Structure 1
C-alpha cells in the first residue's frame, strides 16, 4: 500500500525568507523593504530617492538573493522537527517556486538545516505541478502546505481531494496575506508548526501526534 504524501512549500513554511531578504536589501542593495498590505511589488523602494523599484528590478533583486544569500535563511520555528516527524509516516517532497537551475541549491540548503527531501521546482500556479507529483507517487492520501493563497486556489481547482493547509510562519508578513481558508480554498489556516503537526497527522491517517 502506498504511503501518504506531504507536498510542502519552502519559503515562509520551512525557512524564513522575507526577513532575510529585507536585511540583505537594506544592508547592501540600497533598497528599503516595507510591506504595507499584501502587495509585494510596492514594498521595495530605493533608499536614495524613495521611488518604487520597477518590476524588472524587483525580480533582479530576488534572483540576486537566491543566487548568493540562501545561506542566510534560517528554519521556521519547529519546521525541521515537524517535517522529520511527518517523514516517519509519509513521503515528503518540496514544491518550490524557483527556476529549475536553483533546484539543487534548494535541496542542499534544506539538507544543511536537517531536511532531506526531493525538491520540485515550479514557476506559476502550483496546481498542475502538484498533479504531476501526485501521479508519480500515487499516495494513499496527500496534503499540500503553502504560504500563498493563490497556490491553494490553484490546487483546489486541479486536485480538490488533496488536503490543503495554509501556513505562513513569518510574522513579518503573515498578517498581510489573505487567508485561503476564509476564501474556501484551504482546509485550515495554521501559522505555527506546534499546531500544524498534530492537525496534519490527524488528516493524513488519524495518527496521534
Structure 2
C-alpha cells in the first residue's frame, strides 16, 4: 500500500510541473557505484538488470548474499557525496527548464538518506525541492500535482515507474532517460506512450514542446 508522502514544503506556482528522478537521470549512479564496489573488493557483473545476484567478491568470484548487497546499496547512499556527479547536462538543462516550470526531484531511496542527497544536490546548484520515498511514484506524483489544470511531465530511467505514473496521472508526459551501459541493455522497455530521450537535450525539447500545448 502506498504511503502518504509529506509534501508540505512544496510550493508550486501557476505554471507547468516537472517531476524528475535522480539516480542515473540527474546524478550518475551505476558508474560511481561500480567504483564504490571496487574500493571494497567487489565487482558488478551485468548479467541482468539487477544488483542482487550480480555483485561478486573479487576474492572468489562468488555472488554476495542479497542482504549484503542491500547493505552495500545503503552504504553507497550514505557515502554518495564522495562518489556521485551530475549525469550529462542535467544541471544546465534543469536550470533552463526551471525558468518555465516548477521542478521537483522524486528519488527512490530510503528517506533517512535525504539529508546527504540534499547536500549533494545543493553543492551542484540543483536546489529544487526533493522527496525521497520507496513508495510507487505514480500515487506520489498524483499527490504532488493534484487536480491542477497545468502541464505535468515525469522523467525517469525505470519502466515500472513510468507505468506507475501513467496509471495514476494519465495526463502526464512521460520521458524515459537512462545511461548507455551493458547493464542498461538488460533494462525492461517502457510502454510505447513513453518518449525515449537519448540525452538531456532531448528531454528539454520534449518538455518545452509539451508546455506550449496548454
TM-score by length of structure 1 reads 0.89
Deviations 1:67-94 (A, max 9, x none): 1233321111111000110000000000
Match of 1:86 in 2: 97
2:176 aligned residue (161, 166, 170): 166
Match of 1:34 in 2: 45
Paired residues of 1:16 and 1:170 also in contact (CA < 8 A): no
CA distance in 2, matches of 1:129, 1:69: 24
Alignment of 1:201 with 2:212, yes or no, is: no
Match of 2:29 in 1: 17
Distance 1:142 1:126, change over 3 A: same
- What are structure 2's unaligned runs of at least 5 residues? 1-12
Deviates more, 1:50-59 or 1:142-151: 50-59
**Structure with more of its chain in helix, by fraction:** 1
Distance 1:66 1:3, change over 3 A: same
Displacement, 1:149? Answer: 0.7
CA distance in 1, matches of 2:210, 2:169: 16
- What are structure 1's unaligned runs of at least 5 residues? none
TM-score by length of structure 2 reads 0.87
Alignment of 1:49 with 2:60, yes or no, is: yes
Match of 1:99 in 2: 110
Alignment of 1:179 with 2:194, yes or no, is: no
1:140 aligned residue (111, 136, 150): 150
